[in-house]
Amino acid sequence: MNLSKYPIERCYIAKRSNTRPGLRLTTGAPVFFVAHDTGNPGADAENHYRYFNTLTGRSASAHTFIDDRRILEIIPTGTGPDAAEKAWHVLYNVTTDNERFGYNANDAALGVELCYGGGIDFEAAYQKFVWYLAYCCAKWNKSPHLFIPSHKQLDPARKIDCDNALKAGGRTLKDLIADVSAELGRSSSSSPGQPSSPVKPPQAAPPGGSPVSPGTATGSASSATTPPSSSGQPSQPAQPDFVPLPADLALALVAEYVRPAWAAAKAAGQQPEADHFHRLAVNLRSAAGVDDAGRKLPAAIKLHKLNAQELIFRWLSPAWYRAKAVGDTKAADAAHERANRLRSASGLISASPPVSSESV
């Protein structure tokens, strides 16, 4: 995509507990991007900067406001030199974000607001909104089909954004996701006024990797060897830079976490998410050198680093914190050990020394 199609402006509001607490995202980098609209027809990005910079009496904010003239970040997002910070854009007592992504949106997601109505040119604002979401997906290697929920999807009992603003402009959330996918595929030579050839939405991929078909996994096989040396004699086999997962651990992680997530996605009609969890299960078993029936494969395959990180951040880290909170040392140690096994299987750490048990 054209990463310089529009400028991103940054003018941060003052740090205050009810709007910009100044806290880093729990996940470091954003895990997903919540599509909002402002609910204030006619109010532009500058209006919202001024509002949140002086807001008192309630907790609310978002990271980025986009109108027909500008893309304005009012809380650091990580797109620039400043690390991404928390904003208060989804209620904590909503559970959909936790079920779908493993985190509260305020702790792990960017809130991106579309300004609309009044004198705002919807089409110009929408094109910037699409581009910015695509930019975020490109920067953090996310599929739009998996990682751009609307606020309405996360809090359907209370919220109607960004579907409400999209409807005003003759668009739907499905259109938005398709347009973000198309923007990701545009040539960098394209300009806002130039049509580009149709782009097929990318196949959902496991975090950090290329698309994987349901029956395969990607990575470096532990049986790989180096080419013959200059003397003509075969070199010694290359030492793998990872430690295969124990088969019982891989199967346990699939049974306890991945399969229930897959089933929930299927039940909710979220096929891209279900496909993602299916591939994650395949990759986990392959990292242990077994297939879905438990039969041994010729060799274990290195786990994707971001697959390991997803499992840790989505499930094992919360399990560790829950265990620590109730003083269950055994359960905390088990979560810690599982996390380290995943790190070793993906090459994030060697077999020793282990990561400190003071954190997962």
DSSP string, 66-129: E-SS-EEESS--SSSSSPPB----S-TT--HHHHHHSS-HHHHEEEEEE--STT--HHHHHHHH
Task: Judge whether 191 lies within some domain.
Answer: no
Beta bridge partners, 35, equal 112, 150
Using alpha carbons, list the distances in angstroms from residue 51 to 61, 64, 67, 70, 351.
10, 13, 15, 17, 52
Are 251 and 178 members of one domain? no
Quick: pLDDT tens for 24-41: 998 899 999 999 999 999
Task: Judge whether 228 lies within some domain.
Answer: no
Q: Is the bond leading into 162 cis (omega within 30 degrees of zero)?
A: yes
Are 180 and 293 members of one domain? no
pTM here is 0.57
Assigned token pair, 157: 């009992």
Could you tell me whether strands 71-73 and 64-66 are parallel, antiparallel, or unpaired per DSSP bridges?
antiparallel
Are 217 and 176 members of one domain? no
Are 116 and 54 members of one domain? yes
Q: What angle do CA 237, 243, 248 make, to 5 degrees?
A: 130
Phi, psi at residue 110, to the nearest 5°? -90, 140
Assigned token pair, 309: 């990180």
Q: Give the three-class secondary structure for 290.
A: strand
Strands (E) located in the chain = 8-10, 32-37, 64-66, 71-73, 109-114
Are 148 and 210 members of one domain? no
Q: For residues 141 and 144, give the distance between their C-alpha atoms in angstroms, rounded to a whole number.
A: 10
Are 100 and 242 members of one domain? no
Q: Which one, of 47, 49, 71, lies nearest residue 62 by Cα?
A: 49
Give the pLDDT of residue 306. Answer: 76
Task: Judge whether 168 lies within some domain.
Answer: yes
Task: Judge whether 359 lies within some domain.
Answer: yes
Can you tell me which residue has the tokens 């809090």?
155
Task: Judge whether 198 lies within some domain.
Answer: no
Q: What is the CATH number of the domain that holds 49?
A: 3.40.80.10
Task: Judge whether 138 lies within some domain.
Answer: yes
Q: Which residues are CB-neighbours of 54 under 8 A, at least 6 positions away?
A: none
Angle between helices 122-139 and 173-185 (to 10 degrees): 60
Are 213 and 359 members of one domain? yes
Q: Which one, of 105, 122, 119, 109, lies nearest residue 165 by Cα?
A: 122
Domain residues for 124? 8-185
Give the pLDDT of residue 347. Answer: 86
Task: Judge whether 126 lies within some domain.
Answer: yes
Are 181 and 211 members of one domain? no
Say how far residue 282 (Cα) sits from the centre of its chain: 20
Quick: pLDDT tens for 100-156: 988 999 999 999 999 999 999 999 999 999 999 999 999 999 999 999 999 999 999
Task: Tally the domains of the chain.
Answer: 2
Are 179 and 209 members of one domain? no
Are 77 and 213 members of one domain? no
pLDDT, mean of each 10-residue run, the chain (360 residues): 96 96 92 96 96 94 98 97 96 91 93 97 98 96 94 95 95 97 74 32 32 31 36 51 91 93 88 83 89 82 84 88 90 92 84 47
Task: Judge whether 180 lies within some domain.
Answer: yes
Q: For residues 45 and 35, give the distance between their C-alpha atoms in angstroms, rounded to a whole number.
A: 15
Give the pLDDT of residue 360. Answer: 61
Are 165 and 240 members of one domain? no
Are 278 and 344 members of one domain? yes
Torsional class of 57: left (φ above 0), alpha (ψ -120 to 50), beta (otherwise): left
Give the pLDDT of residue 241. Answer: 80
